[in-house]
Structure 1
Amino acid sequence: YAGSVVTPDGPADKAGVAAAPKTGGSPTAEPAPESSGEPASDALKPGMAEIPLSRIADVIKANTPAGEWRFDGLDGKGQGISGVYDDGKGEAAVGVFLNRAGRSAEAGVDMVTCPEKAYVPYDACETGKLPDGSRWMVFQGYEYPDKREETKSWRATLLTKDGFLIDASEYNAPAEKGAAISRENPPFTAAQMKALVTADAWRPLLDQIPPLPTAPAQPGKLGKPGKVRQAPPEIVGNTVPNTLRSLLPKGLKVVDDGGEGEFAFVVVDDGKGKSLVQINVQYGMDDVADQLFGSGDVTTLPDGRKVKLTQQPGEKGGEGVVWWTVDTLTKDGFRVVVGAFNTGAQHEAATRAEPALTMEQLKALALDPKWAKLPAK
């Protein structure tokens, strides 16, 4: 099952270069371990519900069109189940998983936010709100962003007003991965998927999911002996996206943009093809300086800033894609990393020979003093 299930307070990869935007839950992320549809062992993970999987299967069958179902492990307990559905037009894998979104008020919002097309390809995505304030998303995309196989991945997600997630997905093959295509499209329409996740019958099952464990106190990182290092400030709002647009070289037309907080991206076109440009602005990165700048083309400026230049192939499968990066870090751990591609989306083929910005332009962008003046909390 490929639907991502939000796990509370998961750590970010600090060494990641120009990470994907925070908005838009990725439909290809792996599920949390507690969301497995396999029969639960006698020692269930703390905080995991002991819902009979047969009850989850019953709700699925009662809220989908008539057809033949095959589920594994119906005698087990847990929070989700996967199975194979056949309406006579070809077998299709289907899964439904229940979870708590997290501890914060905004937890789970990414799961009901359509992703940016620059990062996740899809044919359709719709969102909305129920009268009680619950939010939903219906997504029709692909199992593989580069479409190396034609497996379609359609999903519907509901974030209830009290912080529960109901996440359902379906495929046009009898398995999420490694199975031949069995039908043109997954079996259920967008409206049927929405009806499935918004069914009232889920509420008694959601009520069986125990509260999340209390988060342990985190006083901050340890610095020198006898000192406690406070958590670094974070940039919030739209200041990074707005600043990125203001610093772009002249002659570039912005055809798409997005991001928030420490991340932003633009897709630009200078008349020679689209080019994706993305940036991360982060505080408190000095503890991974050796990991980030320990090798490669690294120079140190007179003010102590480290600058690393990298030119490499793209990593998302787009044919002929190249990825140019300028990574910078001050002595006190303030990092600005800018990346550019010779395509408007990493998973799509190259649209031009090189990115629209040269390495010198990327370097000037990353080193601009405006980044250090952005407000942070």
Structure 2
Amino acid sequence: MPQYGEHGPHDELDPTDGYFEEELGAVLRHTGEGFAADDRRELVTGGLARGRRRLFRRRLAVTGGALALAVIGVGGVYGGSVLGGSGGGPDQVSVAGPKPGGSSSGTAEQGKGTAEIPVAELAAVLKANTPAGDWQIDNLGGTGQAVSGVYDDGKGKAAVSVGLYRAGKSAETGLDQVTCPDKAAVPYDACTSARVPGGGRLMVFQGYEYPDKRVLTKNWRAVLLTADGFIVDASEYNAPAEKGAEISRETPPFGAAQLKSLVLADGWRPLLKQLPVPVPPKGKPTAGDAAPPAEPSPAVVQATLRSLLPKGKGLKVVDKGGEQGYGYLVVDDGKGASLVGIDVQPRMNDVRDDLFGTGDVQTLPDGTVVKLDKRPGEKGGAGVVWWSADTMATDGFRVVVSSFNTAAQHEAATRAEPALTTEQLKAIALSPKWRQLTGSAR
């Protein structure tokens, strides 16, 4: 089995942040950012992890609310319709296209921007590490850092893509990509995450393109995080396109073992070395460049949320989960399970008008705005309703608390109404404990 990098099995990635977000931003600029609102919602539903969430939060905050934003990631959006492409669909976006005025000799000296690896070289590694079949590779004469196309082994056409990325200098950002999602947020059939020789970590995921399963397009993927901070992300579908194509086979063509072998292939290594290294911005940092407030751990968020649950209602916590800055509890008062989630988001003033410019908004004496809302669920669960309290202080410190009448948004309702009223959600959101956790000064 290939050995990635010089690190031993217990070495940590450099805990500085930003490289992945810089690279993702450059790729988005290269491909264009013309996402419609529905496309953005699908990105959220597919599972944005915390490291990527900071990049997209300003665009996404107005489309899905706190719990939607906080869905735990499945390797990230960069391997699917945003970066990987999947061959053929009119709404697909690919980064394999040539860069205007660029060369094809991508190296680590290029600085910011996307790599310009010949797609033919990426395709050669893909073909060499998959079973024999007919391939239609997108943009074979172009350059980029991802390859996508349609594979046919005689049992039906399947979209397949592989992308190469730098995880960043943040261990948190990289580990998000190889951590199995929480089934309360993302349904799937199987997922494993484990160390591989050389100190890397590998996740193999078998799930669905749409978490609400409104179309039964299956998405299977393998994501490798190498010890020296690279990501190899392979995705496949049981249809000739990620979205908008009829299902062509019962399952994607490559099993879990084949996906694992594909991302672990030695052939990716020289291509990974061609990914550009982001260059830190020059000049003195400004006030806007200051490090964001610390995000509390999932356990701390869960414990704090639990301490703020209304007393005397007989609420029992039957499940819990979360990520940095976000947590949820599933509670039951004897009338059925109810999901309660909270997301703490400092520095959100730039979307204040989008979030609080309409609807019934209350302004408190200290300037904090509060919006209470009741609406249908958005993840496909039958009869699900979503109640929320959205709050933002004058400095942009946002706390959103949501409650559902089900244990998971994509599952059918288990009770008539959520276990907590909107006024109770408001009281939780306005608790000073959330500022204390993040160290955000008033």
Measured against the shorter chain, the TM-score band is 0.7 to 0.9
Partner of 1:130: 196
**Shift in Å at residue 188 of structure 1?**
0.9
Match of 1:235 among 295, 309, 320: 295
Partner of 1:18: 66
Does the C-alpha gap of structure 1 residues 282 and 83 become closer, same or farther in structure 2, counting only changes over 3 Å?
Answer: closer
**Shift in Å at residue 11 of structure 1?**
5.1
SS of residue matched to 1:108: helix
What letter is aligned with 1:149? V
Query: Greater strand share, 1 or 2?
Result: 1
Partner of 2:375: 312
Give the gaps of 5 or more residues in structure 1: 222-228
- 1:175, 1:76 → 2: CA distance? 20
What letter is aligned with 1:247? L
Partner of 2:23: none
Partner of 1:87: 153
- Mapping 1:129-278, distance limit 5 Å: 129-215=195-281, 218-221=285-288, 233-237=293-297, 238-249=299-310, 250-278=313-341
Match of 1:282 among 345, 349, 357: 345
**Shift in Å at residue 358 of structure 1?**
1.7
- 2:358, 2:376 → 1: CA distance? 18
1:35-61 CA distance string (max 9 Å, x none) = 835431443495322222122112112
- 1:371, 1:57 → 2: CA distance? 48
**Between 116-125 and 9-18, the greater mean CA deviation after superposition:** 9-18
Partner of 1:224: none
Partner of 1:225: none
**Between 188-197 and 264-273, the greater mean CA deviation after superposition:** 264-273
- 1:10, 1:330 → 2: CA distance? 21
What letter is aligned with 1:309? L
**Shift in Å at residue 257 of structure 1?**
1.5
Does the C-alpha gap of structure 1 residues 184 and 33 become closer, same or farther in structure 2, counting only changes over 3 Å?
Answer: closer
SS of residue matched to 2:172: coil
SS of residue matched to 2:55: coil
**Between 75-84 and 161-170, the greater mean CA deviation after superposition:** 75-84
**Between 88-97 and 69-78, the greater mean CA deviation after superposition:** 69-78
1:138-193 CA distance string (max 9 Å, x none) = 00000111111111000001111111111101111122122221111111111110
SS of residue matched to 1:107: helix
SS of residue matched to 1:98: strand
Partner of 1:226: none
**Between 197-206 and 293-302, the greater mean CA deviation after superposition:** 293-302
- Mapping 1:345-364, distance limit 5 Å: 345-364=408-427
Does the C-alpha gap of structure 1 residues 333 and 86 become closer, same or farther in structure 2, counting only changes over 3 Å?
Answer: closer
Match of 1:298 among 353, 361, 364: 361
- 2:189, 2:149 → 1: CA distance? 24
**Shift in Å at residue 330 of structure 1?**
3.7
SS of residue matched to 1:236: coil
**Shift in Å at residue 353 of structure 1?**
1.7
**Shift in Å at residue 67 of structure 1?**
2.2
**Between 184-193 and 258-267, the greater mean CA deviation after superposition:** 258-267
What letter is aligned with 2:98? A
Say whether the 8 Å CA contact 1:156–1:193 is kept in structure 2.
Answer: yes
**Shift in Å at residue 216 of structure 1?**
5.2
SS of residue matched to 1:316: coil
Does the C-alpha gap of structure 1 residues 369 and 186 become closer, same or farther in structure 2, counting only changes over 3 Å?
Answer: same
**Shift in Å at residue 261 of structure 1?**
3.1
What letter is aligned with 1:10? L
Identity %: 60
- 1:27, 1:289 → 2: CA distance? 26
Q: With structure 2 as the length reference, what TM-score do the two structures score?
A: 0.75
Cα RMSD of the aligned pairs, angstroms, is 3.0
Match of 1:54 among 117, 120, 132: 120
**Aligned residue pairs: how many?**
369
Partner of 1:72: 138
Match of 1:102 among 157, 168, 177: 168
Query: Greater helix share, 1 or 2?
Result: 2
Give the gaps of 5 or more residues in structure 2: 1-42, 86-93, 104-111
Does the C-alpha gap of structure 1 residues 31 and 148 become closer, same or farther in structure 2, counting only changes over 3 Å?
Answer: closer
**Shift in Å at residue 124 of structure 1?**
0.7
Q: With structure 1 as the length reference, what TM-score do the two structures score?
A: 0.86
**Shift in Å at residue 247 of structure 1?**
2.1
Say whether the 8 Å CA contact 1:234–1:282 is kept in structure 2.
Answer: no
1:339 and 2:414 equivalent?
no
**Shift in Å at residue 22 of structure 1?**
6.9
